[in-house]
């Protein structure tokens, strides 16, 4: 997969959020850590939580939903402010399910790929390997 220069890669799970940016070119991407925003966790009472039957307790599900809502709100804002032109979202399957319904139309337009995979704490090289697999 070619990753355009400047592409932002958002890595999200229920409690963590990391950003990488391709500082290389399409053929030779170099993923570097990108400045992290302060997420606004206020005003996300349920975060659009869906009912899940799993081993997660209800309180952690609410926290995960709030986190997902804050992340997608920030991503939408950055896309609408024209600060993100190319985006890849890597998220745990559960988190990706929380994010998708809240993507703004413009975010969908700049979204180059989604990857449903746990990648929190991985290096840029590991993320590139996962994107190419």
CB of 110 within 8 A of CB of 86? yes
Find the mean pLDDT for residues 38-53. 57
pTM: 0.86
CB of 88 within 8 A of CB of 131? yes
Q: Look at the alpha carbons of 103, 109, 26, 83 in this order and tell me if their dihedral is positive or negative.
A: negative
Give the pLDDT confidence of 97-125 residue by residue, as tens digits. Answer: 999 999 999 999 999 999 999 999 899 99
How is residue 17 written in tokens?
């959020």
In the prediction, which pLDDT does 52 show? 45
CATH for the 8-28+55-132 domain, from 2.60.40, 3.40.50, 1.10.1760, 3.30.420: 3.30.420
Quick one: pLDDT band at residue 55, thresholds 50, 70, 90? low
């Amino acid at each position: 997969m070619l990753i355009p220069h400047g592409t932002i890669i958002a890595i999200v799970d229920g409690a963590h959020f990391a950003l990488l940016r391709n500082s290389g070119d399409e053929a030779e991407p170099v993923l570097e850590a990108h400045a992290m925003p302060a997420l606004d966790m206020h005003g996300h009472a349920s975060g659009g939580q869906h009912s899940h039957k799993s081993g997660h307790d209800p309180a952690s599900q609410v926290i995960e939903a709030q986190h997902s809502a804050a992340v997608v709100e920030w991503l939408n804002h950055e896309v609408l402010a024209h600060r993100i032109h190319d985006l890849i979202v890597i998220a745990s399957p559960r988190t990706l399910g929380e994010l998708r319904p809240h993507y703004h139309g413009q975010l969908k337009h700049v979204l180059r790929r989604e990857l449903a995979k746990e990648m929190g704490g991985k290096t840029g090289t590991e993320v590139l390997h996962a994107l190419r697999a």
